[in-house]
A and B are shown apart, each in its own frame.
Chain A
Amino acid sequence: MYSYCNCLLRINLTTGLITKEELQGEWVKQFIGGKGLGMKYLYEELVPGIDPLGPENRFILMTGPFTGTIVPCSGKLSIVTKSPANGTLLDCSIGGSVAGALKYAGYDAVIIQGKAASPVYLRIENSQVSLESAENLWGKGTRETEFQLRALYGPEAKVLSIGPAGENLVSFACISSELYRQAGRGGVGSVMGSKNLKAVVIKGTGDVKVADLAGLLKLVHHGLHNDLLTDTNLWAYTDGTPMLVELSQTAGILPTKNFQSGNFQEYEGLNSASIQKIRKAKKACLSCGLGCGNFLKSGENEVEGPEYETLSVAGSNCGIGDLKAVMKFNALCDDLGLDTISTGGVIAFAMESTEKGTHDFGLGFGEIDKYLEMPKLIAYRQGLGNELALGVKGISEKYGGKDFAMHTKGLEFPGYEPRGSWAMGLAYATAPRGACHMSAWPVAEEAYGERDPFTIEGKAEFVIGLQHYNAIKFSLILCDFWALSFDLMAEMLSLALGREVSAQQLEKTGEAVFNLARQFNVREGYGRLDDSLPPRIFQDTLPSGATEGRYLPKNQFKEMLNQYYQLRGWDNNGVPTLGKLDELGLG
């Protein structure tokens, strides 16, 4: 079984039992790895309706066939679980080098179930696997946790850990690795917290055997020079995601003051030029030729990032144009174990609510001191922080303000205004985990490129294509910053596996992965009514810039959604038809 270890590690935290299993061969053929294979295990092992924070939930770490090989941009690890934010299927990915370490230790995947009686961490050192007490780590931030574990196991040990937010079951708690990498969304960190699992530490010294090493080396060498290190991808090295600040500002989609505007007057303080003035180094994940990470230092502040999502949703969206403040916010969230997108989103909601008089949370746009107090209060659920920990959906249901509660399916909006990118609106509405920019990212062509952003024409087909593309990329698992073709993916996979896989097969697998996620959500009771956007998007026009006067008319959105369901082979309620499921091998 080339490119796989054919070994899954299963940890039952309730009983302490640790077992090793062969991978389900048919599932591997059908879903490949990463997101797809992780979702298949979750779908088969969970019954509907279980509590995401209960012992029945699974916490799945999944690598892919390229993990640990010479294939570039293959350093990410998939994490799959049932979402504490909303009960949907949740898949996240985390960069760094932890995925490679797991494969080098001899495992394709880890499935963690049950709940430990007291705080533990999972130690994986090649064939030696054990649960160790984490009593002395509980309550510590992710930085201190990682430093202590590296001191114990050596600097080469790779760590996944949660901070106080995960321990306190905040529904937007994240997981950190290598200090600055996060699996951010949907409260994946609180699943670890609910299981009393503080960290996973991994050391691996093995290797990964591909079928045709010489062929793969030749293809990768060619791909590196002609497909990866090109004008199309090197923005990630020269600038990284902060480049999007200026692009979004120009396109009128930079979320500003809780999505009240798509233009932020102080955007220059957050743009790539400002980042580069204090950049000390570039950083990359294992096997990456791009190195998108920007390591910044200014005074006492040091952080890798902030990425665009933080600069926008936790910057302009909170009325903050001071880069040092956003850096500090970013570092606080990383250490406390909070997703910067959802944290920024819920603070921005509270700011608008206060400004409008809907409810006085004592927070105003641009108030840096109060803004910087919030992460700690949220992570420890103290005072106002305990209310903000409800997330945008929960807090708007409790205190009012649903018209400007910027979430879909209970997941807070990322940094792209859908009134200036209608396909992005459809992508948010139909992404399995809620408002998500990783399921499909039409912004590049629509808001930044030449495709008309203000029409529904052709958008359903466009979004579907992107969803399948990302579904297969994250199953292989490759970084989304490499804009490679299905053909190149198929060529590399064929050489790695030693059997022919076509680009068409991969496209079909992408479709199957996306439909499997839908099946999971349908089983949990999700349907058409949930595939929507906040009232603001349908009602309020944007005030200025390239999107001035724009909104997304609700009837146009409904028509776009109808077309989407029809093209997908789903019924009017968004449920995949039996014919479609049979066609995809999901029946």
Chain B
Amino acid sequence: MEKRIKVELRGPLIRYGPAGSILLSLEGNTTVANVLDLLRIPEDSTSMLVVNGKKVNPLAILEDRDHLVLYPPIAGG
């Protein structure tokens, strides 16, 4: 079954995708890590991974119409 995933990139990660949100159509059990691979984003270039407003780990499986937001690492405060 096809899953439609909306992806938003934050901060410097926008260089890995087009401006605005990205709409992906994916088949099967796709994880957040799979999306990172697809967009060629190194995992250590990310920090918080958020699906539908909740923090998840890279192995979280995405469902149809999920909204994924990817953040870069942050230093300082």
Contacts and interface: CB of A to CB of B under 8 A. Distances in A.
A complexed with B = yes
Interface of A: 231-239, 241, 243-244, 246-247, 250-251, 272, 308, 414, 416, 437-438, 441, 443-444, 448-450, 479-483, 546
B71 A233 contact: no
Given A546-B54, A546-B55, A243 B71 contact: yes
B48 A483 contact: no
A443 B77 contact: yes
B50 A231 contact: no
B68 to A, nearest CB: 12
Contacts of B77: 241, 244, 308, 414, 416, 437-438, 441, 443-444, 480
B12 A449 contact: no
Contacts of A449: 47-48, 73
Interface of B: 10-14, 42, 44-45, 47-48, 50, 53-55, 57, 71-77
11 contacts: A232-B44, A235-B10, A235-B73, A238-B12, A243-B74, A444-B74, A444-B77, A449-B47, A480-B75, A480-B76, A481-B76
A250 B74 contact: no
Contacts of A272: 10
9 A-B pairs closest in CB distance: A483-B75, A480-B76, A231-B45, A234-B12, A441-B77, A235-B11, A481-B76, A238-B11, A448-B48
Contacts of B57: 450
Contacts of B74: 235, 243-244, 247, 444, 448
Contacts of A308: 77
Nearest to A450: B57
Nearest to B76: A480
Most B CB within 10 A of own CB, among A231, A233, A416, A444? A231
Nearest to B41: A231
Given A250-B50, A250-B54, A233 B10 contact: no
A239 B77 CA distance: 13
A438 B75 CA distance: 11
A244 B76 CA distance: 11
A244 B10 CA distance: 11
B7 to A, nearest CB: 15
Nearest to B16: A231
Contact of A444 (B12, B50, B55, B75): B75
